[in-house]
Amino acid sequence: MLGHRGHGQVAEYRHVKLPGRWWGARTWQKLATLAPWGGSRLTELRELILALAQQLAALEAELQARVQAQPIPKGLGEITLVSVDGEVCDWQRFHNRKQIGSYTGCCPGEHSSGGKQRLGSIDRMGNGRVRTLLVEAGWRLWRWQPNWGAAQRMKGKLAGGGALKKKTVVALARLLALDLWRWRTGRATMDELGGGAA
């Protein structure tokens, strides 16, 4: 946001387009031609951006340290795992597959009447941040963990077109949540689930 504010101010008052990541050390040296007004405003924004970047780097290192000693499947990533753990808080609070599946909001909505059953799009009733993390991780694991049990079961659908592939990855996200629950509660090892450590 601060970077975009710098872009907007320079575009409005100087009618000049700033390069991307204008606060970087090399690019910043090239911006010495800006008028004193524009330069001083950008200097203030740059100091804020660099301070925030330093804080974010320290927080990221702290988060990675929490799971660094653990075997993490290739493609899952330390930040993804610690973020999901932080959102869930306690994996033991889920007692069955339905509970963890519902928590992710990746379960299909149901529109049934009489003897007819029709499953619709996902209900999105769970934790949106966890759902986003799991979907992104699903794409990565599908690529980096071909022996992952869930990906093996969905292999035919993943070979399909764009829309079917996207729906299948959402289903993979739900299955990934179940596998993480089994792994974190000691019901199964990651090797047993087909997602060996990196």
Output the pTM of the full model.
Answer: 0.74
Return the pLDDT at 129: 93
Whether residues 82 and 174 fall in one domain: yes
Burial class of 194 by CB neighbour count within 10 A (0 to 12, 13 to 18, 19+) = middle
Whether residues 53 and 94 fall in one domain: no
Closest CA to 105 of 76, 142, 133, 130: 130
* Domain boundaries, position 96: 70-184
Whether residues 154 and 84 fall in one domain: yes
Q: Which of these three, 46, 65, 84, is where a domain ends?
A: 65
Whether residues 127 and 143 fall in one domain: yes
Whether residues 15 and 105 fall in one domain: no
Report which residue type is found at 69. Answer: A
Whether residues 58 and 35 fall in one domain: yes
Residue 198 falls within a domain, yes or no?
no
Residue 196 falls within a domain, yes or no?
no
Residue 195 falls within a domain, yes or no?
no
Residue 44 falls within a domain, yes or no?
yes
Whether residues 43 and 104 fall in one domain: no
**pLDDT, one tens digit for every residue, the chain (198 residues):** 999 998 888 888 878 788 888 898 888 887 766 656 566 788 899 999 999 999 999 999 998 898 888 888 888 889 999 999 999 999 999 999 889 988 988 877 777 777 777 766 777 788 889 999 999 998 888 888 888 888 888 877 777 777 788 888 888 888 999 999 999 998 888 777 776 554
C-alpha 159, offset from chain centre? 23
Whether residues 82 and 160 fall in one domain: yes
Where b means 16+ CB within 10 Å and e means fewer, 69-93 reads: eeebbebbbbebbbbbbeebeebee
Q: Which of these three, 13, 42, 65, is where a domain ends?
A: 65
- Enumerate residues 6+ apart whose C-beta is below 8 A from 55: none
Whether residues 24 and 75 fall in one domain: no
Return the pLDDT at 198: 46
Residue 126 falls within a domain, yes or no?
yes
Q: Which of these three, 30, 47, 65, is where a domain ends?
A: 65
Sign of CA dihedral 42, 44, 47, 51: negative
Q: What is the 3-state secondary structure (H, E, C) of 53-111?
A: HHHHHHHHHHHHHHHCCCCCECCCCHHHHHHHHHHHCCHHHCCCHHHHHHHHCCCEEEC
Q: How far apart are CA 80 and CA 77, in angstroms?
A: 5
Residue 121 falls within a domain, yes or no?
yes
Residue 10 falls within a domain, yes or no?
yes
Tell me 24's DSSP state: S
